[in-house]
Chains A and B, each alone.
Chain A
């Protein structure tokens, strides 16, 4: 009889989520662990599935607009912009110049709000708690501008097909300028707080490397691909809504790791401020709504429009059969496709690094599950 009882060493399966504070929602990760090392990752999604694409087939084009806000609820304005541009492409209408510039301002304000929430929560995941409070405080200013403009803070429904529903409120320019002034200083403070912080660097540098080649083959877009050194930004590559009128840079980094993704997002907020400042100077006067029929009946056909949402390429593919409802509506959500690359980055990493990697992918489960 064997008398020696060896210590059993086997893989441990660990369920991370669906209710885990640092999976940013209801994401469940099935981790196979060998000690502290991750051997395999399986993403289980669908806990927040609401069937948005199917709902789209049962609503008219105008009625579906509020639902797109509820996919990526952190950047509802960008979602609305993409949807409006797609339907406008289907019916062959272009928003008036004033509406386009206003849309750009709101989309950029929303990019800042989205990146701020990302910065706050992912810093919180990694143990830097104070950053969350500062980021949310600044985000609140953006949300106040949204509330004063369209009456809602988060799920804004700010744009309508063909232009804007609401004229700019009187204090809009002053509010936005004040925010822009204040936020430039705040960004420097975040830099002071985190960029050179040795703990922050140790946690992020060299963690979750995804090279440009891998980014391309996984279809990753947004700040992740720019952190890998590829200057790919749809605002420059295929300008929409008048982005070609503005002078801004595409921030890129070469490291392709989590730390560079953080730096790219900070730089992007600076560029967004540049765009906002330029746009405030040249809001043209004129109509805010193009001539759009009350009952929308687009001609049969299909359209794919993609925009640069804060998280990456957000695309809408709409097929019309000439009736009141879309025949098929498909969304290409950036965070769903970026999340697919998690396995590539997390296998071989430490458990603690998985938190950092999920954090810097910047996912919103409302958009992943739809």
Chain B
């Protein structure tokens, strides 16, 4: 008897519809309005790489040890160094980072002994060309500058 009533009035379907109806409340809306509002990103987010500079003397923190290049599974970091005759230390001549092959695993960041290379919270790093994704030292130090669009 109960089964027949359920069948005629589709009670089980109505139960499901009630769930759908309850979700109409605005507090249940979780859509992120991305380009309008920049989403909150985790502190440890692994995004665009950055080569940190020392804030005191604005020199690079990188000591040119090549450990990040060795740690990278995709071999996409190239570190160029030159031995400074006076200080007997390695000077950084160039540093390229190929973002087009990067999978943001964070192994380079872990390998860096002086916290010079860091994956930051920036995530807007699209480019119109493939070459634009190969970041040089200047780009790595300044970070991506995405175009700001306004209405």
Interface residues of A (CB under 8 A from B): 59, 62-67, 70, 130, 134, 137, 140, 144, 147-152, 155, 157, 165-166, 169, 189, 192-194, 196-199
Are B42's CB and A66's CB within 8 A?
no
Least CB distance from B132 to A in Å reads: 23
Are A152's CB and B46's CB within 8 A?
yes
User: What is the interface residue range for chain B against chain A?
Assistant: 20 to 34
Interface residue stretch chosen among B9-17, B77-85, B134-142:
B9-17
Query: A197 to B6, alpha carbons, bound, how many Å?
Result: 11
Are B107's CB and A151's CB within 8 A?
no
Are A140's CB and B15's CB within 8 A?
no
Are A62's CB and B107's CB within 8 A?
yes
Interface residue stretch chosen among B49-57, B89-97, B98-106, B143-151:
B98-106
Are A197's CB and B12's CB within 8 A?
yes
Query: A169 to B105, alpha carbons, bound, how many Å?
Result: 19
For residue A196, which residue of chain B has the nearest CB? B12
With A59-B73, A192-B15, A193-B16 known as contacts, the answer to whether A66 contacts B107 (CB < 8 A) is yes
- A169 is contacted by which of B16, B44, B106 (Cβ under 8 Å)? B44
Are A66's CB and B73's CB within 8 A?
yes
Our count of residue pairs bridging A and B at CB distance below 8 angstroms stands at 72
With A140-B30, A157-B106, A198-B13 known as contacts, the answer to whether A63 contacts B42 (CB < 8 A) is no
Q: Is B116 an interface residue (CB 8 A)?
A: no
Are A198's CB and B23's CB within 8 A?
no
Contacts of B19 in A (CB 8 A): 189, 192-193
12 A–B contacts from the bound complex (CB under 8 Å): A64-B73, A65-B105, A66-B103, A66-B107, A151-B119, A157-B105, A165-B110, A166-B44, A189-B19, A192-B15, A198-B7, A198-B10
Are B15's CB and A66's CB within 8 A?
no
Query: A299 to B50, alpha carbons, bound, how many Å?
Result: 37
For residue A130, which residue of chain B has the nearest CB? B20
Are A194's CB and B16's CB within 8 A?
yes
Q: Is B43 an interface residue (CB 8 A)?
A: yes
Contacts of A64 in B (CB 8 A): 73
Are A63's CB and B15's CB within 8 A?
no
Are A196's CB and B42's CB within 8 A?
no
Query: A199 to B19, alpha carbons, bound, how many Å?
Result: 16
With A148-B42, A169-B43 known as contacts, the answer to whether A199 contacts B30 (CB < 8 A) is no
Contacts of A148 in B (CB 8 A): 42-44
Query: A353 to B44, alpha carbons, bound, how many Å?
Result: 44
Contacts of A198 in B (CB 8 A): 7, 10, 12-13
Query: A148 to B121, alpha carbons, bound, how many Å?
Result: 11
Are A193's CB and B106's CB within 8 A?
no
- Give 7 A-B pairs besides A59-B73, A147-B45 with Cβ atoms closer than 8 angstroms: A66-B107, A70-B103, A130-B23, A148-B44, A165-B106, A169-B44, A196-B16
Q: Is B128 an interface residue (CB 8 A)?
A: no
Contacts of B10 in A (CB 8 A): 198
